[in-house]
Amino acid sequence: MFAVFGLVVGHPDKYDETAVKPRLPQQVVLHHERYELEPQAPHLKTYEEVLNGFYSAAGLPEGWTERVATRFGTTAGLKGREHLRAALQTLGFELR
For residue 3, is pLDDT > 80? no
For residue 6, is pLDDT > 90? no
* CA distances, 12 to each of 18, 20, 22, 42, 51 (Å): 10, 13, 19, 35, 24
Measured between alpha carbons, how far is 53 from 14 in angstroms, rounded to an integer? 24
Task: Give the pLDDT confidence of 36-80 residue by residue, as tens digits.
Answer: 888 899 999 999 999 999 989 888 877 888 888 888 888 888 888
Tell me whether residue 64 is exposed, middle or buried, using C-beta atoms within 10 angstroms of its C-beta: 0 to 12, 13 to 18, 19 or more.
buried
Least reliable range by pLDDT among 17-26, 44-53, 60-69, 87-96: 60-69
